[in-house]
Amino acid sequence: MARLFGTDGVRGVANADLTAEMALGLSVAAAHVLGKSDAQGDHRPKAVVGRDPRASGEFLESAVVAGLASAGVDVLRVGVLPTPAVAYLTGALGADLGVMLSASHNPMPDNGIKFIARGGHKLSDDLEDRIEELYHKHEHGEPWARPTGAGVGRVRKYDEGFDRYVAHLLGVMPNRLDGLKIVIDGAHGAAARVSPEAFQRAGAEVITIGTDPTGLNINDGYGSTHLEKLQAAVVENGADLGIAHDGDADRCLAVDAAGQEIDGDQIMAVLALAMRDAGTLRKNTVVATVMSNLGFKLALEREGVEILQTAVGDRYVLEEMKRGGYALGGEQSGHVIVLDHATTGDGTLTGLLLAARVAATGRSLAELAGVMERLPQVLVNVPDVDKSRVGSSPEVGAAVAEAERELGETGRVLLRSSGTEPLVRVMVEAADIDQARSVAGRLADVVKSALG
C-alpha cells in the first residue's frame, strides 16, 4: 500500500486523490494521535485550522473541522493565512495540533493537508505513520471512539490570528524599512494580505501584484515559480527590490533593482552575514541541502562561516538545525528557516529580514547578494534506469570520480535518485557553463548505459 504522507503532508488533486472523506478521516486519526485529553478530563484538546485561497480548500476545511470536532477537539478557524502563520499560532495559542490546507506552489486543482504538532513543529515520520495506521484501520472497519454531549469539540472563528501573526513578524524586525520601495508578489495565495500589510507596517512603500486571489488563480503566472511579472514590476516602478512568495508563503525569492533573481542561496548568504554581525548566527554555521550552489559554500567559507549540508527537503534541514542548535538554514528554492523566530520556512519573515538588511546597510540588494557568485549548474534527468543501483555501480562510480578530478575545487557532481520516478538526476556545477554541460552529458550517458 502506497504511503499517503509525502515529503510535506498528504497532497493530490482535490476531490479526486484528496477527497472530503479522506480529509475527515485523516483529521479524526490526527486528533487521536496528537490531541489526546488528559485522564481527568481537565484538558480539552485544541486545534488551529487554516488554509490557502484555493476553492477546494473551502470544502476540505469543512471536512477537517468536522473530523476534529467529532473527535472531541475544539477548533479555531483562522481562515486564509500562510503555513508559517498557522504553525506560529499553533504554538502561540498552546494548541495541541494545527492543520494547514494547501498544495504550496502546485497548480490550483491540487490541494494538501499538512498536520502540525504541538509547539508549531512539523510531524516526525513516526507521528505520520501512526496517523496513517489509524486512518487505514478505520477504513477497514475499526470504529472510532466518538464523544457525545458536551464531549464534542466546539468550533469558532479566530479572526485575531491575522493581526497576531503580523505583530509577531514586526516584533522580530531588527530595524524599520523606511525609505525602501518594495514590490510584493503574493502568488494570489495565502500571503496576499499578510505580506503587504507587514511590509507597510514596517515602513516600506509597497506595490503589490498577485494579491487578488479568486480561489482559482493561485500560482497562475505569479509567485516564486513565475518571477517574470515581478521582475518587470520592480524595474517599471523603480523599486529597490521585489519579494515573491509561493501559494502558502513558506518560500521567498527576491528580485534586485535591475530585475535580477536573488535565489534562496543568495538570500541565506545575506542573512548569514547579517546574523553573524549581530551575534545571532549560533555556532557560526548555516544548514543547507546538497542542492545548494557551490558558489554559496565557497562564499561562506571565504567569510569564515561554516556550512552543513543535508538531504534535499526542508524537513531534513530543520531536523539538523534542531539537532545541532543552529539558527539559520534553508534551500535554494527559497525555504529559509530562522529558528529563533519560526518553526518552519516563513516567506514573509525571510523577505522582511532581507529588506531590513538592505535598509540597515544602505547597500543595494544586488551588492549584498554579490557576496556569492552562482556557479553555472546543469541538471540532466536520465529516465528509465534502475535508480536503486546508482550508488553501487562501478561504472558510474568511476565516471563520477573522473568528473570530480576534472572539475577540481571549482566544480561539483551530484547524482540523485528521484523519489517518485524511475530516473536519476545528474547535477554538475563548474566555473564554465560549457564545461558543466559537457561533464553532465558524459555522466548521463554512463548512467544510461550502466543502469538502463
52 is in an annotated binding site: no
Q: Report the length, in residues, of the chain.
A: 452
The strand pairing partners of 328, in sequence order, are 286, 338
Residues 6+ apart with CB under 8 A from 386: 422, 451, 452
* Annotated catalytic residue, options 27, 56, 102, 104: 104
Residue among 210, 214, 167, 206 at smallest CA distance from 57: 214
> Regarding beta strands 74-80 and 46-51, do their DSSP bridges make them parallel or antiparallel, or are they unpaired?
parallel
Element (H, E) at 395: helix 394-407
212 is in an annotated binding site: no
Number of neighbours of residue 7 by Cβ within 10 angstroms:
12
Q: What is the DSSP letter of 311?
A: S
Element (H, E) at 60: helix 56-70
CA torsion through residues 312, 318, 319, 324, sign = positive
Whether residue 104 lies in the annotated active site: yes
Could you tell me if 85 and 78 are in contact, meaning their C-beta atoms sit under 8 angstroms apart? yes
Distance CA 8, CA 315 (A): 8
8 is in an annotated binding site: no
- Which parts are annotated binding residues? 104, 246, 248, 250
- Any idea which residues carry the catalytic annotation? 104
- Which parts are annotated binding residues for Mg(2+)? 104, 246, 248, 250
